[in-house]
Structure 1
Amino acid sequence: MDLSHTAIRDHTAFLERLRLVPDQPGVYLWKDANGRLLYVGKSKRLRDRMRSYFGSPRSLSGKTRRLVSHIADFDIIVTQSELEALLLEMNLIKQHRPSYNILLKDDKTYPYIKVTVNEDWPRVFATRQVLNDGARYFGPYASPGSVYQALEVLNRLFAFRPPYECKDDKFNRHRKLGKPCLYYQMRRCLGPCVPGLVTKEAYRQAIDAVCRFLEGKSDQIVRELRAQMEQAAEQLEFERAAYLRDRIQAIEKISERQQVLRTVDTDQDVIAFAREEGSAVVQVLFIRGGKLINAEPFTLQGTEGESDEALLTSFLTQFYQDAPNIPPNLLLADHVEEPMIIASWLQQKSGHRVEITVPRRGEKRQLVELAANNARQKLREIREQWLNSEQRAVAALSELRDLLELPALPHRIECYDVSNIQGQHSVASMVVFERGSPRPAHYRRFKIKTVSGANDVASLHEVIGRRFRRAAEALGETQTVTGMVADDDNKTSETGNTDQQALESWADLPDLLLVDGGQAQVAAASAALRDLGFTQIPVVGVAKGPDRNRFDLIRLDCEPLVLARDSKALALIQRIDEEAHRFAITYHRKLRSKATLRSSLEDIPGIGPKRKRALLKAFGSLDAVRQASIDELAAVPGMTRKAAEELKSLL
């Protein structure tokens, strides 16, 4: 085996460890010299699969050669079967999202439609979490926009509680008033908030109709509505009959837009893809009861050098890992790796037999071609959008480079902003843009620890010092980190990164550092960098006019650079600065809200620290606690009904 193209230091020890790897099913994890996870793979014969990476580099794809060049260590986990190895691999990829695995882009954030059938007055709304809570979930959808559009249509058809305009506090308020809101008058809500307007049975029928519509069973709904319309007409309830007629026509109009198949009446997902230069889009057609009820495109990353089989296999395992509904038939554009194992896993997950087929002719093949055409169209759109945004970003960064006389384009830009109200709950944000685009996974937030009062300059000096002490530690330039580094430096509210991933990201240094402020802020940031030996990083302040209509660039001991109104650099600087302000103020409000709740609960007898934390976690704000019912308060872990009654009376 050839280890000369790797980052392995002790070849002899590595080969000995590799020799001891068993030829059994399991999962292997390649790591770099810093222990960072590079790739997760599975095999039914671990040793043979792992040894295959160290043959002739010419036999490897470009992506695999790059992976091998970073390999310095490995871990293995032996499993009892190939199915166990598949499940473990999926969980590890989802948890760590290694950079060399094929990844479903933003797989944690795909939205679903949730129907809370487990509640007395069910709600229908968008969510990004699928929980085992008795509710029903439909999706996933590729974008929030498609979910909101679907919810808008559903609400007009079935008049359930408006998903965003009727939160529990508003629902309870109108229940106490005994008067419905405007949505009832608009026939956009059946009025479950007011007793007597609609029975639970009638409202439940509307919710059941929503679920059946999402399942593609619109024909059943039309038949039931038509029977209700005829009954209303016989009873001379002409206004209700006209309302039902309009609903029937609306449902039929939507159903006409759904492609009706001639012979296939089973539930199935049709999956095809398009790929180009490392980019890939997978199109899924959701067919229920012979009707195409939805079509969603999903983007994959890390597909360069991978086979079509590997691409489809990775998509299937990641897409259906959290999917609430799996149909009995999957039509694919190409074969997948180990189809029997994947089918067994899908059957185990769904509770019914799942058949995976690759049709070559007939109507099913036409469906696959339809999905492939949609995937190609979406890939073209993404490519054009990327080219347009890339051209704008390069133009803005080039202009910024020339204005600031930088040696090269500022690939990575970090911007810092401090937020407080009269010195209370002082916080700072760090946002990161790379190639002109935000990178939320690298955002950081800081609580100010050593500065009292509203001193933005001193706060900024503290934050820059903490950030670049982390960088020095990550780069191996120092062995310890002072007590100024707080635990919250590793956290971000934008992503679900682990602490290990957060620590590793501190090593990425900016090509340009922006601070919100003028000469004083620039001097403070420059001093903090100079103390830690990072003098090569340019620091620029962003000064705004009284109406935020100017974004001047401030450099130490230099005249301000006034950006022209039509400057591409102005648009980029404005976007970065406002993102830093948004991230800082969001964190500040969160801390202030928690502090308000804690302080308001301090003097209430019977509410100790544990109960305060539980109430804060459950409701989030004092207003929400006030509006909660006694039953809701009593349901909080650690609370009793007596304590809930006392709390309600005191608030």
Structure 2
Amino acid sequence: MSPSPRADVLPWRPKAGEIPAAPGVYRFSDAAGRILYVGKAVNLRQRLSNYFQPLRSLHERTRHMVLAASKVEWTVVGSDVEALQLEYTWIKEFSPPYNVKFRDDKSYPYMVVTLADEAPRVMVTRNRRIPGARYFGPYPKVWAVRETIDLMIKAFPIRTCSDASYKRAMQSGRPCFPGQIGRCGGPCSQRVTIEEHREIVDQFVAFMASHDRSVITLLQREMKDAATAFEYERAAKIRDRIQALENVLEKSAVVLAEATDVDVFGIEEDELAAAVQQFVVRGGRIRGVRSWVVDKELDISSGELVESVIETAYETEQPPREIVVPVLPDDAPALEQWLGDRRERGAVALKTAKRGEKAALLQTASLNAKQALALYKTRRTADYVARSQALGELQEALGLDEAPLRMECYDVSHLGGTNVVASMVVFEDGLPKKSDYRKFAVHDTNDDTESLAQVLRRRLARLDEDETPTEAEEGARPRRRFAYRPGLLIVDGGQPQVQAVAAVLDELGIDDIPLVGIAKRLEELWLPDDPFPVILPRGSEALFLVQRIRDEAHRFAITFQRQKRRADIGTVLAEIPGLGPARSRELLRHFGSVARLKAADEAEIAEVRGIGPQLATAIVARLGGGRRREDGEA
């Protein structure tokens, strides 16, 4: 639980007049001198004043950080760009616990051509510091680089052997072993001179840099000339080179215009973590994909997250001319200048994309990021050590007598006050037990607190049946409703929702089941009759597990709500003369959702197969039109 402030003012707070109103970088540190957080500001006085507001008005995570700190120091710089560079340097040097953390930020494999060598070699590497080398990638997996190299050396036979093999072959006059089996095309294979090999290397690099089909056109012309001259063996070799290049092109999806070099970042985030998906597009083709997960220690904006992602992505990489991101950070011009300084020549443009091919690619990257975040959560939840740690942390934070081995979480969903439903999801030993999930239809109310009270009253009124075998037919085995009573009840909401459910527990005389509510925005836990929330440490396994349970209850409730809505719309459509089941299905298939169907006009509905203008008019009149927003959905 976050410590309660004894005073509303931090004793070490500097005077406002002492803080310069200039750009700079600041760092909070604790009594032991450990750097807790590093940030930058266009105006240091204005930014730091946000941390020194009354403690009760601060964001919970920020309050936790400033209460752990014992001082703040700052360094004034000359410009926004200098502030960005210094902040980046300090974050890398000190690894502050309250700054964004990057998980799975491993180095990715590249294809590299060692142009500084006498006979350049193509190979797979994760080392980005080979002098004079030309890099291509990154690639998602090592096998993807090797596969590309295998195809490319069939078209451009260049050296693949190690430096030791090359030196030994050149001294002895005997081909290197890869050359003997046709895997190396360098001078050590005794097939080409150093000058001829250099020319082939230049062709290799030029094709990898541009994927220009004109190379194939030239080879096709050479093949025809060889065939005309009855040099069939040479023509066959050129044919094989052409096929190899075609295979390389086929494996690189064309997504944008041929001259386009751009990196596209899809980001999916929640309160605790974010997943990043980077598409590397060169010559209009996706040349590499990179993904990683970010732990968010403080409640930062999407723009600040984008900034941290960009800084990490180009720590050792040279940025392209254009970078597409979901949202622009506040200091995008400074970030563009910082990126431009890391580029050999030319400026870097940081953009968003709202329409067109780049927007479509951004949407695909964002979809991949969403799936990556879901997978990350699933894998983390499935880890036995992490689950055990989470349950222990929950027991300690909530003051429970024992770890909550069975947790039930409840959520309410509705559409504009109609079709009110609720969900109950169950986690046992930190894992979902879907056989125990329950769905509830809520009647006579559209108030969230009253809906939760109604659902919990129905669930807890039959609590004793959990311990008593149900009646069974003669000869059948007795069946239990649930294995055992819940060790913790969780409701989606803050104090009002918790108090409503606590009243139900009192009403039913239940005093041995703990209750807690989780508020969405701050991820804080509320206990009955406690004016202060429990704040679990950011990044803790306990907070991660509680958030996962809450999200699962929300998903299950939304799914049930949609099912009821589809059933309701089916009944309404069936009442329209001339609109049978087949046409109703076609309508829903065409528009994809009930909301889009209700928002469509007569002309749009008339375009559906089997629906004419007259029937479209009847459908619009019956549905009423207009858009309504589902509670809990964007």
Shorter-chain TM-score tier: 0.5 to 0.7
Q: Is 1:310–2:304 an aligned residue pair?
A: yes
Which letter does structure 2 place at the counterpart of 1:384? T
| Map of 2:113 onto structure 1 | 115
Equivalence for 1:581: none
Amino acid at match of 1:311: L
Aligned to 1:574: none
On the 8 A contact 2:109/2:126 being kept in 1, the answer is yes
* Preserved CA contact (<8 Å) 2:24 2:41: yes
Displacement, 1:323?
1.1
Give the equivalent residue in structure 1 for 2:136. 138
For residues 23-48 of structure 1, give each alpha carbon's deviation from its aligned partner in whole angstroms, at most 9, with x where no partner exists.
11111111122111121111111122
| Structure-2 residue corresponding to 1:36 | 34
Structure 2 Cα separation of the partners of residues 84 and 395 of structure 1: 45
SS at match of 2:266: strand
Q: Per-residue deviation at 1:343?
A: 1.6
1:168 aligns with 2:163: yes
Give the number of the structure whose alpha-carbon radius of gyration is greater: 2
Match of residue 496 from structure 1 = none
The Cα shift of 1:145 comes to 5.4
Q: Which residue of 1 aligns with 2:337?
A: 344
Q: Partner residue of 1:618?
A: none
* Structure 1 Cα separation of the partners of residues 188 and 55 of structure 2: 68
Structure 2: 5+ residue runs without aligned partners?
A: 392-401, 404-634
Question: For residue 220 of structure 2, what is the aligned residue in structure 1?
Answer: 226
Q: Is the contact made by 2:381 and 2:387 (CA closer than 8 Å) also made in structure 1?
A: no
Greater Cα offset, 49-58 or 266-275: 49-58
1:460-502: CA deviations, max 9, x gaps? Answer: xxxxxxxxxxxxxxxxxxxxxxxxxxxxxxxxxxxxxxxxxxx
Per the alignment, residue 291 of structure 1 pairs with: 285
1:179 equivalent in structure 2:
174
Q: Which of 245, 270, 274 in structure 2 is aligned with 1:251?
A: 245
- Equivalent position SS for 1:197: coil
Q: Is the 8 A contact 1:271 1:371 kept in 2?
A: yes
Whole-Å Cα distance in 2 between the matches of residues 138 and 191 of structure 1? 20
Distance 1:264 1:236 in 2: 36
SS at match of 1:367: helix
Task: Give the Cα–Cα distance (whole angstroms) in 2 for the partners of residues 56 and 144 of structure 1.
Answer: 53
- Report the CA distance between 1:103 and its aligned residue: 3.6
Q: 1:277-305, CA deviations, whole angstroms, 9 ceiling, x for partnerless residues? A: 52222112222222222222232233662
Q: Cα offset for 1:349?
A: 2.7
C-alpha separation in 1, matches of 2:224 and 2:181? 23
Alignment of 1:25 onto 2:23: yes
Q: Which amino acid aligns with 1:355?
A: A
Distance 1:58 1:16 in 2: 19
Output one character per residue of 1:89-111: Cα deviation in whole Å (capped at 9) or x when no partner: 11222223222212444657344
What residue number does 2:372 align with?
A: 378
Corresponding residue for 1:332?
325
Alignment partners' CA distance in 2, 1:273 and 1:128: 24
TM alignment of 1:254-265, pairs within 5 A: 254-261=248-255, 265=259
Distance 1:309 1:113, change over 3 A: same
Shift in CA distance, 234/391, structure 1 to aligned 2, threshold 3 Å: farther
Give the aligned partner of residue 269 of structure 1: 263
Instruction: Report the equivalent of 1:450.
Output: none
Q: Could you tell me which amino acid in structure 2 is paired with residue 119 of structure 1?
A: D
When structure 1 is superposed on structure 2, of 24-33 and 52-61 the one drifting more is 52-61
Give the drift of 1:80: 0.7
Deviation at 1:271, TM superposition (A): 1.4
Residue matched to 2:424: none
1:511-550 equivalent positions in 2, closer than 5 A: none
Q: Distance in 2 between matches of 1:176 and 1:140?
A: 35
Contact 2:100–2:296 (CA under 8 A) maintained in structure 1:
yes
Are the aligned partners of 2:110 and 2:145 in contact in 1 as well (CA < 8 Å)?
yes
Superposed CA deviations along residues 511-537 of structure 1, whole A, max 9, x for unmatched, are: xxxxxxxxxxxxxxxxxxxxxxxxxxx
Q: Is the 8 A contact 1:159 1:189 kept in 2?
A: yes
Q: Give the whole-Å Cα distance in 1 for the aligned partners of 2:371 and 2:47.
A: 37
Distance 1:260 1:221 in 2: 17
Amino acid in structure 2 at the alignment position of 1:99: P
* Counterpart secondary structure, 2:276: strand
Letter aligned with residue 272 of structure 1: G
Q: How does 1:370-519 map to 2 (within 5 A)?
A: 370-388=364-382, 390-391=383-384
Relative to 1, partners in 2 of residues 1:309 and 1:226: Cα closer, same or farther, differing over 3 Å?
Answer: same
2:275 pairs with 1:281: yes
**What one-letter code is carried by the residue in structure 1 that aligns with 2:274?**
A
Aligned counterparts of 1:366 and 1:251: Cα–Cα separation in 2: 27
Alignment of 1:70-89 (within 5 A): 70-89=68-87
Deviations 1:374-417 (A, max 9, x none): 222222333333333x137758999xxxxxxxxx99xxxxxxxx
- CA change 1:242–1:139 in 2 (3 A) is same
The letter of the residue matching 2:324 is L
State the Cα deviation string for residues 537-574 of structure 1 (Å, max 9, x = none).
Answer: xxxxxxxxxxxxxxxxxxxxxxxxxxxxxxxxxxxxxx
Q: Show the counterpart of 1:602.
A: none
Matches within 5 A, 1:48-67: 48-57=46-55, 59-67=57-65
Cα offsets for 1:320-358 (capped at 9, x unmatched): 23213x222222222223111112222333221222221
Task: State the match for 1:533 in structure 2.
Answer: none
- Which residue type is aligned with residue 92 of structure 1? W
8 Å Cα contact 1:312/1:334 also seen in 2: yes
In 2, the alpha carbon distance for the partners of 1:270 and 1:234 equals: 47
The answer as to 2:85 corresponding to 1:91 is: no
Equivalent residue letter for 1:28: Y
Identity of aligned residues (%): 33
Q: Residue type matched to 2:217 in 1?
A: R
Three-state SS of the structure 2 residue aligned to 1:322 is coil
Alignment of 1:195-210 (within 5 A): 196-210=190-204
Q: Secondary structure at the match of 2:31?
A: coil
- 1:316 CA displacement: 1.1
Shift of 1:264: 6.8
The size of the alignment, in residue pairs, is 392
Letter in structure 2 aligned against 1:102: V
Matched, 1:368 2:366: no
Cα distance change, pair 20–260 in 1 and its aligned pair in 2 (3 A): same
Of the structure 1 ranges 332-341 and 105-114, higher mean CA displacement relative to structure 2 is found in 105-114
Q: Which one-letter code corresponds to 2:46 in the other structure?
A: D
- Structure 1's unaligned 5+ residue stretches are 399-407, 410-651
Q: Which amino acid aligns with 2:198?
A: R
Q: Distance in 1 between matches of 2:299 and 2:256?
A: 39
* Structure 2 letter corresponding to 1:329: E
Aligned with residue 99 of structure 2, among 98, 101, 109: 101
- Aligned partner of residue 321 in structure 1, secondary structure: coil
What is the TM-score with the length of structure 2 in the denominator?
0.55
In 1, the alpha carbon distance for the partners of 2:61 and 2:205 equals 44
Q: Is the 8 A contact 1:62 1:305 kept in 2?
A: no
SS in 1 for 2:38: strand
TM-score (norm 1): 0.54
> Letter of the aligned partner of 1:173 in structure 2?
R
SS of residue paired to 2:291: strand
| Kept after mapping to 1: 8 A contact 2:219/2:242 | yes
What is the CA–CA distance in structure 2 between the aligned matches of 1:228 and 1:63, rounded to whole Å? 68
Q: 1:286 and 1:48, CA in 2 relative to 1: closer, same or farther beyond 3 A?
A: same
Post-superposition shift, 1:4?
7.7
Residue 268 of structure 1 contacts residue 328 of structure 1 at CA under 8 Å; is this kept in 2? yes
Q: Residues 396 and 101 of structure 1: is their aligned pair in 2 closer, same or farther, counting only changes over 3 Å?
A: closer
| Residues 303, 311 of structure 1: 8 Å contact kept | no
Instruction: Name whichever of 80-89 and 335-344 sits farther off.
Output: 335-344
* Rounded Cα–Cα distance in structure 2 between residues aligned with 1:264 and 1:361: 19
2:481: which partner in 1?
none
Partners in 2 of 1:197 and 1:212 — Cα distance?
22
Shift, 1:62, TM fit: 4.0
Separation of aligned partners in 2, 1:385 and 1:205: 49
Alignment of 1:569-584 (within 5 A): none
CA drift of 1:238 comes to 2.8
Distance 1:132 1:286, change over 3 A: same
User: In 1, distance between residues paired with 2:101 and 2:336?
Assistant: 20
